[in-house]
Amino acid sequence: MIPVIALIGRPNVGKSTLFNVLTRTRDAIVANEPGLTRDRQYGVGKVGSKKFIVVDTGGLSGDKQSLDDLMARQTLLALQEADIVLFMVDAREGINSGDEVIANLVRKAGKATTVVLNKIDGVNPENAEADFFALGFADMALVAASQRKGIVSLMEQVLEDYPEDEEPDIKPEGASIAIIGRPNVGKSTLINRLVGEERVVAFDQPGTTRDSIPVPFERNGKHYTLIDTAGVRRRGKVYETVEKFSVIKALDAIEKANVVVIVIDARDGITDQDLTLLGYVLDSGRSLVLAINKWDGLEPEQRDYNKTELHRRLSFIDFANEHFISALHGTGVGDLMSSIDQAYESAFRQFNTKELTTLLEEAVFKHNPPLHNGRRAKLRYAHQGGKNPPIIIIHGSKTDTLAESYKRYLMNFFIKKLKLMGTPIRVEFKKADNPYSEKRNTLTKRQQTKKQRMMNFVKKKK
C-alpha cells in the first residue's frame, strides 16, 4: 500500500517548496508570501524504489476569519487521511505559539509524525533542535527545501517501515476536465458539487483559488480528473505577481485538458473576458461545454433576455452544449457530465479515409470552391490527421487560394455531417507538388521556327 504523507505547518514555512521537491514538479505556487496554498494539492513522489503520495496543505494560522477557517478544514481533512505527518517549522524563527497549537492537533490525530526543521541553512542545528524539542515529538529532521538539502535522508527515515513498491505505475484514466472562468463565478463550488465533498475551498471572494488543483473522481464506473483553476481577469486588472502565476497555470490547464468547462455568471451575462477565454479554448482546440451558473437567482424576464444575448454572441460555437445550472443547489449539474462525456468521445473519434472523402465530395458538389484569378481549386481526397481536436487533412491543387469563408464552410459541414458535439475540428490543406515546376522545356529547332512564325503573324495583325 502506498503511504500518504501530509505536509502540515504554519503559513510560509516551506510546505509548497518541499511538495515541489518531493514530486519533482512545479505544481504548487511558491512565493515569499504567506497563505498562498488554500486547497489540498496531491502529488506522487518516489525515493529509491519506494513510492508515496504527498499532500500539500494551507498554513494553519489560527485566525478565526471565514476564509482561514475553510483553509483549516482542508488541512484537517488531509491530516485525517494521512499515514505520515511531516510537521514543518521554520528553524530561523524558532518555536512560537502557532507551532504549539498545531502540535496539539497533530498529537490528537495519532499519526506517525516527524518534525521537519526547514530553512536550516545559516542556523546552528543543535540550537534549533533543542528549541523544538519542547513540542514533544521524538523524530526530527533538518532540511533546506529550497536547496534540496536533507530531503533524501528525511524520506528514507519516514519510509523506513514501508515495503518497496512492486506495483506498476498507474496511468491516469478517463477525461481531464478543466473548469475555467472569471473570478467568483462558482468554479470551486461546481467541483465540490460534482465530487460530492468539500474538496476545494469555495468562498464568496474573488481570487480564493490560486493553484490549479487536480481532483480525480469516479462517476458511473468512469474515471475523471477535474482541474480547479484560478479565475482569469483582464490583463489590465492583474497587479500581483502571484496572480500572474495563477493565470498562467490556469491557461496551462486548458492546454493539458481534454474537455474545458467554462463557467459563466448568469447575472452578468456573457462578458468580453468570457469571449477572450472562449477564443483561447478554441485556439487550443479543446472540447468545450458551457455552464451558465447562478441561473436560479434570475427573474423570468432576465432569463429570457440573457438566453437571447447568449445565443447571439456565441453563435460561433454552436457545436458546444450549454447548461443552465446552480452549482450551489445542484440544479442541472447532473446533466453536465453527459455533455462532458459526449465532447470527450467526439474529440477522440476515429474516421476512415473513405468516409471523409465521400463527405468532401458532397461538400464540393453542394458548393464549389470560389474562382481565384479565373481558376478553381480542386479538392481530391481527405483523411484524418489527428485527434483532440479531430484534424482533417484535405489534399488537392491550388488549396492555398481558398478563401477563409470556404474553409469555415468545410469545417462546419464536417462537424454537422459527422455529428460531432462539443469539439471543434481543424481542417488542414495539402497542395500537390508539380514535379515540373522547376523544369523548363527545351524547344527543338523546328518548334522554335514555328514559334517565331506565329509571333511574326501576331505582329502583322496589330
Place of cell 478565526: 64
Say if residues 143 and 151 touch (Cβ distance below 8 Å).
Answer: yes
Q: Which of 414, 416, 341, 26 is nearest to 174 (CA)?
A: 341
Mean pLDDT by 10 residues, the chain (462 residues): 83 84 70 51 80 80 49 73 87 84 85 88 81 85 87 87 61 74 83 73 44 73 81 52 56 84 88 84 89 86 88 86 88 87 91 93 92 88 91 90 91 91 90 70 87 85 66
For CA atoms 257, 223, 338, 411, the dihedral sign is: positive
**Helices then strands, each counted (H, E), the chain:** 13, 17
Q: Which of 115, 151, 136, 154 is nearest to 10 (CA)?
A: 115
For CA atoms 155, 57, 263, 222, the dihedral sign is: positive
Say if residues 379 and 462 touch (Cβ distance below 8 Å).
Answer: no
Task: Say what the pTM is.
Answer: 0.63
What domains does the chain contain, in order, with CATH numbers? 4-158 (3.40.50.300), 175-347 (3.40.50.300), 349-462 (3.30.300.20)
pLDDT of residue 239: 43
C-alpha distance from residue 55 to each of 17, 44, 113, 154, 264 (Å): 12, 9, 14, 16, 31
Q: Which of 226, 231, 229 is nearest to 194 (CA)?
A: 226
| Cell of residue 448, nine digits | 522554335
Q: Give me the helices (H) in 82-165, please.
A: 97-109, 125-132, 151-158
pLDDT of residue 240: 46
For CA atoms 78, 81, 85, 86, the dihedral sign is: negative
Number of residues that this document lists for the chain: 462
pLDDT of residue 440: 75
Distance CA 413, CA 359 (A): 8
DSSP three-state, residue 61: coil
Name the residue type at position 237: K
